[in-house]
Structure 1
Amino acid sequence: MFGTSGIRGRFGDPITTDLALQVGRAVGSTTDTTVAVIGRDPRTTGALLSDALSAGLREIGVDVIDIGVAATPTIARCVAWQNADIGISVTASHNPPTDNGFKLWNPSGQAFNASQRAAITDALENEEAALADWNTVGQTSTWNGAKERHVATLVAAVSVPESLSVVVDVGNGAGGLTADALVELGCDVTTLNAQEDGRFPGRASEPNADTLDALMTQVAGSDADLGIAHDGDADRMMAVDETGAFVMGDELLALFGRQAASAGDEIAAPVNTSLVVDDTLATIDASVTRTKVGDVHVAAATTREDVVFGGEPSGAWIWPTETLCPDGPLAAVKLVELIAEEGPLSAQRKTLDQYPLERDSIPTEHKARVFEHVTDLVKDAYEDVQTLDGVRVSTPNGWFLIRPSGTQPLIRVTAQARTTDDCQALLEEATNYVTDAHQQTTN
């Protein structure tokens, strides 16, 4: 039921109002919840799913505070702000408009952990729900101050000593508060796709190099210092430098990590993160601790004492002293602060080493069996093999990662090294393990 970031899928199958009702009942039945905050991104199916979710919670006796259309990090922060027990975002994040889903949050801003997710899954599968009596059902209320509270929190989190010109591509999602916060910080702000529209007519919801043509063109053709882009629920933030060039997520991770860490500190990043992050942190005697892929796992790692920041190259950024939820608007103001203090983003990018990275995918209808055999082959060849998420091997000049796709009949291979030749050699070696395992498994 749960993926790496909540429950998500196509509206109509599997995401329905019946499922929303059942999720509300399951959450209310398996947690010590008396008050829940719910909100949604602008998707056309969000309101009716929120209504059903609220009904399920109230049937169990949980009071609901509905904050309406809001960014996911706003909803997550509202749990503590409203002295609630949990928060639920009705969103499919960066997925297409046909999809929707649910993300669940603790008061710390951290997503529900494995045991919490398992309890809800069991309740859903067994249709367990202890409905309240007619006179103890939960009540519903609204709060219209969530966005303003979040903006004020963002403004207080940073110091921007000079006015910058920023273009913010909201992507027709819930991230418009970023523009409001930047205006409050004295920036000159231009917006793109700022109208909330759950059909995402301006561009595809996921902010990446293929979807941000308009932002890159706008920044390149103006005197803007920076371009910012969010996904539908604004838990992600990606950027364009002042030349109009898309900034890779690994670069942002290295820059944010270098800004946040001091000697002896760690930052959390998934197993598929570039060497540029490790090498950048090494220059300040800080280091990287690896996690499974998924911002839920990165957030969990940031609760450790020495971990001061966590991020994913896909655009999820976590400052644990602020919140354990990926907060795209917070990342936006942090990046503006970094540029105001350290100079143009293009110049900062030039301080980072660039290393070749290669990817390949091998189709297989026997993904689990093939991957099990791959693991054995790699362990036979190397003494130090990480199996945290897939199979990862580090060498003196690079690394490779072999992971089964979570959604397709594929085994994915990634390799990176400090030279092109080493990178290609590592990719070939890793790919050979997969093809050999496929042949031996299927023959």
Structure 2
Amino acid sequence: MFGTSGIRGSVGEEVTGQVALSVGRALGIETDRVVVGRDARESGHALTDAFAAGLCESGVDVVDVGRAATPTVARGVAWTDADAGVVITASHNPPTDNGIKLWQPSGQAFDAPRRERITERVRSGETALADWDEMGTRTRDSLSDRHRRELVESVTLSEPLEVVVDVGNGVGGVTADALDELGCHVQTLNAQQDGSFPGRPSEPTAENCESLSTLVAETDADLGIAHDGDADRMRAVAADGTFLSGDVLLAIFARATAGEGDAVAMPVDTSLAVADALAERGIEATYTPVGDVYVAAAASDPGVAFGGEPSGAWIWPEETLCPDGPLAACKLAELTASEPLADRAATVAAYPIVRDSVSVSEKTAVMDRVRELVSERYDDFSTLDGVRVERDDAWFLLRASGTEPLVRVTAEARERSRAQQVFEEATNLLDEGI
């Protein structure tokens, strides 16, 4: 039922009011107060009502914050002394989708044991419905102002900036509000909340954010910010209009946050350039499976100063274990005010990466055979998420897609010819497994 990013899928098929009601009832067994919020998708109205009904009839009090950024809700669990939080969102997925993501008081998403516990209750039909006179209450509150204040207090800008914020028709407007209060001159794109995402597709990729890049390049803007629909992700554009890769942003944030002897959590498909950039400062790279849930879990360990995923999820564990796109935007503005973003990016190497996806009929069996082959032929490898093999000057990763009948192949080296060579080594290995 749950993936690493919660329940997510097509409305009316994988995601229905019945599913929301059932998960609400399952969560209600172990909670007394829950914060509930949603993104701008129209389907969120009915799904939120169904989820809240499941909680209330289980005797749980619901704090309904309405439309709000995912990090606002995740942070709000602790702010309201609640036991859990839920966001009705499909994040960066298309408008036909919606989903359910659950949060702990620490700001961390529900981990695997918690997700499995909820799943088992839903499948078994287990409930703990309250008597008619002990049902929970549903009160309305807004936590966006609290989030904005927290953002403003978290950074200090040495000088005001010209910033363009592409909200992506989502619920991340708190970013523009916080930057404005910090003294920046803020211009917005796609700021009207609309869950059909008419301005651009929700995921903030270079292709989807061409308008942002153009506007930043053709004006006096110092920085461009882009969010997805629920603002847990943040991507950025430098003053010259360059849309920065997620690996470059990860290196920039990590070096600004961590010091010598600290560790930074990142997924196994992160560029070698990030590890090199951190090693120059004596910072250790700690690898995790792909998914911000795993990065957050690693970031909760002592000694891990920062966690990031190149897709745009950034975690400062001292502030929250939730990927907080608005916080990342304000942190990046602080860094840009002291040194132009393009100059910071120029200090991070760009290595050639070769990627492809191969259709397979039985991806689990194929990956089992690949692991056997790797264990026979290589000494330095990891099976943390798929199979990652370390070579002297390169690496490759074979990883099954979580949603499609595909195995994804990634190879990287410091030289293009070597990257291609290692990629062919990986694809040949996969061919043997098939």
Would you say same fold, with TM above 0.5?
yes
Secondary structure (helix, strand or coil) at the match of 1:355 reads coil
Distance in structure 2 (CA, Å) of the matches to 1:69 and 1:358: 39
The C-alpha deviation readout for 1:400-426, integer Å capped at 9, x for no partner, is 000011111111100000111110111
The C-alpha deviation readout for 1:388-441, integer Å capped at 9, x for no partner, is 000001111111000011111111100000111110111000000001111xxx
Q: What is residue 91 of structure 2 aligned with on the other side? A: 93
1:416 lines up with 2:408 in the alignment: no
Written as runs of structure 1 = structure 2, the 5 A alignment for 1:298-309 is: 298-309=295-306
Q: What is residue 147 of structure 2 aligned with on the other side? A: 150
Distance in structure 1 (CA, Å) of the matches to 2:45 and 2:116: 26
1:332 lines up with 2:308 in the alignment: no
Q: What is residue 429 of structure 2 aligned with on the other side? A: 433
Give the TM-score normalised by the residue count of structure 1.
0.97
The C-alpha deviation readout for 1:292-323, integer Å capped at 9, x for no partner, is 00000000001111100000000000000000
Q: What is residue 441 of structure 1 aligned with on the other side? A: none
Distance in structure 2 (CA, Å) of the matches to 1:409 and 1:17: 28
1:385 lines up with 2:399 in the alignment: no
Written as runs of structure 1 = structure 2, the 5 A alignment for 1:28-427 is: 28-29=28-29, 31=30, 33-144=31-142, 146-341=143-338, 343-427=339-423
Q: State the Cα distance separating 1:53 from its structure 2 match.
A: 0.4
Contact in 1 for aligned 2:35/2:76 (Cα 8 Å): yes
Secondary structure (helix, strand or coil) at the match of 2:358 reads strand
Distance in structure 1 (CA, Å) of the matches to 2:258 and 2:77: 28
Secondary structure (helix, strand or coil) at the match of 1:393 reads strand
Amino acid at match of 1:393: V
Q: State the Cα distance separating 1:201 from its structure 2 match.
A: 0.4
Q: State the Cα distance separating 1:64 from its structure 2 match.
A: 0.3
Contact in 1 for aligned 2:380/2:391 (Cα 8 Å): no
The C-alpha deviation readout for 1:353-374, integer Å capped at 9, x for no partner, is 1110001111111211111111
Distance in structure 2 (CA, Å) of the matches to 1:139 and 1:390: 45
Distance in structure 1 (CA, Å) of the matches to 2:300 and 2:224: 30
Amino acid at match of 2:157: V
Moved over 3 A (4+): none
Q: Provide structure 2 residue ranges, at least 5 long, that are not aligned to the other structure.
A: none
Distance in structure 1 (CA, Å) of the matches to 2:223 and 2:124: 50
Distance in structure 2 (CA, Å) of the matches to 1:394 and 1:365: 27
Distance in structure 2 (CA, Å) of the matches to 1:276 and 1:210: 23
Comparing 292-301 with 362-371, greater Cα deviation is found at: 362-371
Distance in structure 2 (CA, Å) of the matches to 1:185 and 1:430: 49
Amino acid at match of 2:241: G
Contact in 2 for aligned 1:362/1:435 (Cα 8 Å): no
Amino acid at match of 2:340: P
Distance in structure 2 (CA, Å) of the matches to 1:291 and 1:24: 30
Amino acid at match of 2:12: G
Give the TM-score normalised by the residue count of structure 2.
0.99
Contact in 1 for aligned 2:64/2:141 (Cα 8 Å): yes
Q: State the Cα distance separating 1:130 from its structure 2 match.
A: 1.5
Give me the identity figure in percent.
57
The C-alpha deviation readout for 1:148-190, integer Å capped at 9, x for no partner, is 1000000000010101100000000000010000001100100
Distance in structure 2 (CA, Å) of the matches to 1:24 and 1:58: 9
Q: State the Cα distance separating 1:128 from its structure 2 match.
A: 0.8
Q: What is residue 8 of structure 1 aligned with on the other side? A: 8
Contact in 1 for aligned 2:257/2:305 (Cα 8 Å): yes
Contact in 1 for aligned 2:390/2:396 (Cα 8 Å): yes
Distance in structure 2 (CA, Å) of the matches to 1:361 and 1:9: 22
Distance in structure 2 (CA, Å) of the matches to 1:360 and 1:375: 19
Cα RMSD between the aligned structures?
0.7
Distance in structure 2 (CA, Å) of the matches to 1:260 and 1:131: 46
Q: Provide structure 1 residue ranges, at least 5 long, that are not aligned to the other structure.
A: 439-443
Secondary structure (helix, strand or coil) at the match of 1:322 reads coil
Contact in 2 for aligned 1:154/1:329 (Cα 8 Å): yes
Distance in structure 2 (CA, Å) of the matches to 1:425 and 1:134: 68
